Each structure stands twice: as C-alpha cells, then as structure tokens.
Amino acid sequence: MATKKVPSEKTRARKAPSLTEQAYTLIKDKILSLELRPGLFLNEAALCAMTGFGRMPVHQAIQRLRIEGLIEVIPRKGLVVRFDSLHDILELIEARLTMEPEVVALAAQRVTPEQIEELRGLLERSKALTSQTKRDEFSQIDHAFHSLIALAAGNKFLADAQRPLHDRSNMMWHLRVMPDDGLVVTQREHEAILEAIIKQDAQAAREAMRAHLMSLQKRILKASV
C-alpha cells in the first residue's frame, strides 16, 4: 500500500498568499468597491488598523497600489485614493480594445466543451440581472465572463496582462456611468460573443468583442454629456 505523501511545510507556505499579498488584495478590493472613495486621504497607520495587518505588509501593498495608479503618495500629507476620471476610463477601454478582441479570437479556437457550458451558465444567470437594482451582481458575472474567456484563450501571459484591466474596470461599475439600459445592452453583446465562440468562429468572436467594447465606450461618452 502506497504511503500518502504529506505536503512539506515549505510546499504549504508556497501555496499560501503572503501577508503583503493579503493586505494588497484587501486594500485593493476596498478601493475598487468604493469603500475607500476617490479623494479620500489615508495614512499607513489607518490602513494597518483597518486591515489588521502590520506596517511592513501594508507599506509594501501601498507601493504596489501606487504603481498600479490606485493610490497616490503626496509628500507631507499622506496617501490619497486616486480618481478614475472620464479620461482614465476611456483610456482603459482603449487598452482593452487592443487586447481583448485577439484574446477572444484565440478562445474561439481553443475553448473546451466544459468552458462553453460554464460561459452559458454565466449568461443564463446574468439574463435575470439586467435591472439596475441588480447591478452589483451583474458586474460580478461580467468579470467572470471575461476572465473565463481569457482562460479559454490558453495563454497565461495574455490572461495576466488582461487581469489588471478588468480589475480597474470594476470601479467603472460603481461610478454609475452607464445609461439605464446598459445592462440589457451588455447582456445582448455578451450573448453575441458567446455565439461566435460556440461556432469556433475566431473572426466573428473578434468582431463581437470589438463591437461590445466600442458600444461601452459610446455609452459612457453619452452618459457623461
């Protein structure tokens, strides 16, 4: 009878996120959910008290968030949560436009039957969430839908490059910049993307994703006028 191999302490430690990673994730989630609102002044001591982490993990997390543009360090004043201006949001969509149509084209060629079923399940759930009162739930499925497409593309470097763009897009949902019918339109566009993926039509998937992102861009511009 084979002896079950017990993971070493070193292996378990490697799998567990570091304190810095945990602090980074927690603070970032609070910023992207607007619990820590744009323009809010903070300091390391306040973030330590809020998160329960020590000064070093919080300090290192702040440096990562500063590099990502979510926090600005102001000399002699402390930290401030950065605003995502309309210009920033439009630049974000522009960045997604350069990447995601190619990612979904790869996904259309490499997607597995299991991933197709998971994508179908996500859109079945979001179909019932197109009311603005269900916006938060819809946004979670939107994130999962695009993330699964990145996974289906089968390229970890593209998936890693796309992830921070989606994380920043989360703030856009909370800023309420889309019109009242925005979720209905997004649902319809997601269904068109999935249809192209199911058909394994890379060009159609590419065009559907580009149309979706350009539609989002136009809706945001219209809502901001």
Q: What is the per-residue pLDDT for 13? A: 46
Mean pLDDT score, 10-21: 69
Residue 57 to residue 59: CA distance in whole angstroms: 5
Q: What is the per-residue pLDDT for 101? A: 97
Backbone angles phi, psi at 73, to 5 degrees: -95, 120
For residue 137, the number of C-alpha atoms closer than 13 Å in the C-beta half-sphere is: 13
pLDDT greater than 80 at residue 178: no
pTM above 0.85, yes or no: no
Alpha helices (H) in 82-134, listed in sequence order: 86-110, 113-126
Report pLDDT digits (tens) over 134-166. Answer: 888 998 899 999 999 999 999 999 999 998 888
Residue 193: pLDDT band (50, 70, 90) is very high
Per the rule left: phi > 0, alpha: psi between -120 and 50, beta: everything else, 2 is beta
**Residue 71 DSSP class:** E
C-alpha angle 196-142-186 in degrees, rounded to nearest 5: 65
Which domains, ranges and CATH numbers included, belong to the chain? 16-81 (1.10.10.10), 86-224 (1.20.120.530)
CA distances from 119 to 4, 98, 99, 189 (A): 36, 23, 20, 13
Residue 181: pLDDT band (50, 70, 90) is confident
Residue keyed to tokens 């759930």: 125
pLDDT greater than 90 at residue 88: no
Report pLDDT digits (tens) over 111-130. Answer: 999 999 999 999 999 999 99
Retrieve residue 97's tokens. Answer: 């436009």
Residue 194 to residue 203: CA distance in whole angstroms: 13
Largest CA distance in the chain: 72
